[in-house]
Amino acid sequence: MLKYLIVMLDRASVPFCHHEPAEKNEGLISAADLKNAIRFGMKENLVIQFVYPDRAIPAELENIIETIDHVKIKPYPSGKDDVLVADIGAIPQKAENETLVIRASIQELAEKVSEVENAIYRFKRVNIILKEPDSISEEDAGAYKLFLDRLTYYIAGQTASGKELPQFNLLTDRILLDKMNNCGAGDESITIAPDGKMYVCPAFYYDGDAPVEWDKEEGLQLPNAQLYRLDHAPICRACDAFQCHRCVWLNRRRTLEVNTPGHTQCILSHHERNASRNLLGRLREAGIAATLKDIPELDYLDPFEIVK
Amino acid sequence: MDGIKSNKVIWKDGTAKNITFIVTKDCQLACKYCYLVGKNEKERMSWQVAKSAIDYILDHKSDFNEESVIWDFIGGEPFLEIDLIDQICDYIKKELYIRGHHWFNSYRFNFSTNGINYDSEKVQQFIAKNREHLSIGITIDGTRRKHDLNRIWKGDGPEKGSYDDVVRNIPLWLKQFPHGGTKVTISSADIPYIKESVLHLYSLGIHEVNINAVFEDVWKEGDDDLFEQQLTELADAIIDGGWYEDYACSFYSENIGKPLDPVYDNTNWCGAGRMLAVDAAGNFYPCTRFAAYSLRSKKPLIIGNVHDGIDRDKLRPFLTLDRTTQSPQNCIDCEVASGCAWCQGENYDAAESPTIYQRATAICKMHKARVRANNYYWNKLFRKLELEGRREEYEANRKTSNPILPC
């Protein structure tokens, strides 16, 4: 069931997820399309998220945006709002009550781990999104594990010394979840692009996919829509890496099917899951988090092994 | 009990790795029901591509850990490339020996041929050389009128059937392969000739007739009724004529037409992805049906090539695919689901989006018609055995399951 509507205000809207930014081929959404998008979101009871480009948008559009409750996703440093998106090389030093999305490669994470550590306690929430996930190798996955292990020690130490457990997508989400909480593109969320048309997510728009139609009686006219749901994903429905993005776009790039993740994606998510398990263990050793649910030990890093 | 011949027993119980060389996309025939929409005379496999494929496969032993292997040769018509095939088979045998490979002496060379070149000197030399490791099936569709309805020579001018050119080689083939079976394909126009065709093939001495109704959406209103009628009449003829003692027809199986449990009977029907096919360009496919020349409306689904190897991520959807995830709810709830087959390639080709996870159901009404005729067949046969006092003997010796026949 749809819950979220993402509205890209410009073709060069900030990439807040795995996809790469568009070339500076600017193309603002029209006022009419923006109004229609908002009207659609209101009628379908959707939470609306507006994704901004790295430049000011006309006052006319801003005024339309303010006609509805919403979340703003903006690039740093031009924005200062609900969700900021920053490259790891330009993490904001001052923050208020925002969520920060850090886009980084694994190599950059390994090199700038202390900057991530500092950010985790400055923001309400930090999400790390891996850039160019398509080119991540198994060797990179090893470096990712080391990065996660270091953060596990850091967060456990800080929490033990009295700080509140932060919200950090890679390590604390899994501790707090008891079922899958994934991206949900094509199932729980849908994107309206600057052309006024509907797509599974911004990455599908950039890939040149055909737009998806909406029927007010039948809902989303997405061919084989069931494949975007967890119950039609044989590997994922057997998995307990609840924090995984389960990115349908990345799935399709790697395996040609939206419901099937590639091997590396599963490995990375299981490193996050296992590091979360280690963090939970350390918190318990410090007398914290006793009431949280166990994360069981696994003897695999890729649930494909138990499904095939 | 010798009394009822059962369907084909598959070599190594179907556990062998199946590796297919698409040696040519050319064929002497232009069969009307052929799913190969992109046949041509240009795409012939080179020795270099074939050798690279074999080297890749044998170099990656751990990725091919099945105990046995079936090296399949397909076209078009594979025997048009008998020189290349001979070279490939010699190389495989030599390499298996040199490498001490676990497939040495646990391999078959398998062919599905239109039978036209069967008696040629080169093909006969090849058969003599590889006799102990060879399976060859000749496709003959039945009576002359049934066969010539679809299996015609390619080219301009008036239609010319190929029956005479094939049937003349049947005695030689059966002499060399007495247990050889033939594969018959049924589409809409063939239905009225099913009974006469199966009986004709029996009369030619072919003991194993494997028949498939095509998976494509070709069926017309009323085809199911006619199909059921033909299979019922065929059941009468087989049982009344005592053919069932020594001859088998894959239409009739004790195990079809039952409901399937969504948890315990949830395996995929098709072996795509567990097989491997390679074409003239050196591309790897999960099965030949995913190569460009087999597809009407989708892009080829390539999973690698002889230079870069197999992209194992692209195999994951195939290896995790189950029955219920790809089936619509009415198939999951179907009371006669068992034995209802599908082809993953046709599913992909017919799907609304590029996915292997949407089951094509064009065959549904034909399956249900088959189930009704199949029920009739077994009820009639069991009653006959009962009256002859042979039913208990049959029950004591019955097989627990019939093998799934390859497509």
- Kindly write down the DSSP assignment for every residue of A200-254, as one continuous string: SSHHHHHTTPPPBEEETTTEEE-TTGGGGSGGG-TTGGG---TT----HHHHHHH
Cross-chain Cβ contact A259/B317 below 8 Å: yes
Q: What is the average per-residue pLDDT within B185-203? A: 95
Residues 192 to 231 of A: which have CB under 8 A from any B CB?
Answer: 223-224, 227
Q: What is the DSSP letter of A164?
A: P
Instruction: Check CB contact under 8 Å for A256 and B312.
Output: no
CB contact under 8 A, A256 and B316: no
Q: Is the pLDDT of residue A78 over 80?
A: no
Q: Is the pLDDT of residue B6 over 80?
A: no
- The mean-pLDDT minimum among A5-9, A197-201, B403-407 falls in B403-407
Tell me if chain B has a CB within 8 Å of the CB of A1.
Answer: no
Chain B residues with CB under 8 Å of A304 CB are: 316, 319-320
Question: B402 or A51: which carries more pLDDT confidence?
Answer: A51
pLDDT surpasses 50 at B1:
no
pLDDT at B275 over 80: yes
Share of chain B above pLDDT 70, in %: 94
Structure tokens that stand for B249 in this block: 């027809």
What would the mean pLDDT of A163-174 be, rounded to a whole number?
Answer: 96
Q: Mean pLDDT for chain B?
A: 93
pLDDT for residue A74 is more than 60: yes
For the packed helices A138-160 and A263-285, what is the interaxial angle rounded to 10 degrees? 20
Contacts of A224 in chain B (CB under 8 A): 351-353, 355, 357-358
- List, in order of start, the domains of chain B with CATH numbers: 15-138+270-320 (3.20.20.70)
Model confidence at B391, pLDDT cuts 50, 70, 90, reads: confident
Beta-strand relationship, A213-215 and A219-221 = antiparallel
B324 CB within 8 Å of a chain A CB: no
Tens digit of each residue's pLDDT (9 = 90 or more) over B153-165: 998 889 999 999 9
Give tens-digit pLDDT for B56-65. Answer: 999 999 999 9
Band of the pLDDT at B403, cuts 50, 70, 90?
A: very low
3-state helix, strand, coil in chain A (%, to 5): 40, 15, 45
In angstroms, how far is the first alpha carbon of chain B from the final one? 29
- Contact (CB<8Å) B352/A224: yes
Question: Which pLDDT score is estimated for A289?
Answer: 81
Q: Which of B312, B352, B357 sits opposite A257 (nearest CB)?
A: B357
User: Given CB atoms, is B216 within the 8 Å cutoff of chain A?
Assistant: no
**Taking 80 as the threshold, does the pLDDT of residue A16 lie above it?**
yes
Strand ranges (DSSP E) for A70-228?
71-75, 83-87, 99-104, 125-130, 189-192, 198-199, 213-215, 219-221
Q: Residue A223 is nearest to which of B301, B353, B356, comparing CB atoms?
A: B353
| Domains of chain A, each with CATH number or no CATH | 4-227 (3.20.20.70)
The pLDDT tens digits for B65-98 are 999 999 999 989 999 999 999 999 999 999 999 9
Instruction: Reply yes or no on whether the pLDDT at B228 is more than 80.
Output: yes
Percent of chain B at pLDDT above 90? 84
Sign of CA dihedral B122, B128, B129, B135: positive
Neighbours of A31 (CB within 10 A): 13
- Count, residues in chain B: 407
Measure the CA–CA gap between B166 and A153, rounded to whole angstroms. Answer: 75
The whole-number average pLDDT for the span A120-148 is 93
Backbone CA torsion sign across A252, A233, B289, B350: negative
pLDDT value of residue B10: 67
pLDDT (0 to 100) of residue B8: 59
Q: Which pLDDT does position B307 carry in this prediction?
A: 97
Closest Cα in chain B, distance from residue A238 (Å): 11
**pLDDT mean across residues, chain A:** 94
pLDDT digits (tens, 9 = 90+) for B344-370: 999 999 999 999 999 999 999 999 999
Distance from CA of A247 to the nearest CA of B (A): 15
| B7-35 burial code (b ≥16 CB/10 A, e <16) | bbeeeeeeebbbbbbbbbbbbbbebebbb
Q: Is the pLDDT of residue B188 over 90?
A: yes
> Who has greater pLDDT, B38 or B81?
B81
Spatial distance between the Cα atoms of A4 and B6, rounded to a whole number of angstroms: 58
Residue B146 has pLDDT above 50, yes or no: yes
Q: At what angle do helices B223-240 and B194-203 cross, to 10 degrees?
A: 30
Asked if the model's pLDDT at residue B399 lies above 60, the reply is no
Phi, psi of A145 (to 5 degrees): -60, -45
Nearest to A281 by CA among A156, A120, A161, A121: A156
From chain A, pick out residues whose CB is under 8 angstroms from the CB of B63: none
Parallel, antiparallel, or unpaired for β A219-221 and A189-192?
unpaired
| A-B Cβ pairs (cutoff 8 Å, strict) | 52
pLDDT tens per residue across span A189-242: 999 999 999 999 999 999 999 999 999 889 999 999 999 999 999 999 999 999
User: Which chain A residues contact residue B319 at CB under 8 A?
Assistant: 304, 308
Residues of chain B neighbouring A232 (CB-CB closer than 8 A)? 325, 357
pLDDT tens digit sequence for A136-156: 988 899 999 999 999 999 999
pLDDT computed for residue A291 by the predictor: 87
Prior bond of B161 cis (ω within 30°): no
Residue B406 has pLDDT above 70, yes or no: no
Question: 3-state SS of B313-348?
Answer: HHHHHHHCCCHHHHCCHHHHCCCCCCCCCCCHHHHH
State the Cα–Cα distance between residues B308 and B283, nearest whole angstrom. 10
A152-161, B238-247, B389-398: which range is least confident on average? B389-398
Nearest CA-CA partner of B37 in B298, B284, B277, B213: B298
Within 13 A of B316's CA, how many CA atoms are on the CB side? 30
**B39 versus A38: which is more confidently predicted?**
A38
Least confident stretch, B77-81, B111-115, B386-390, B400-404: B400-404
B351/A224 touch (CB, cutoff 8 Å), yes or no: yes
Using CB atoms and an 8 Å cut-off, which of residues 234-253 of chain A contact chain B?
234-235
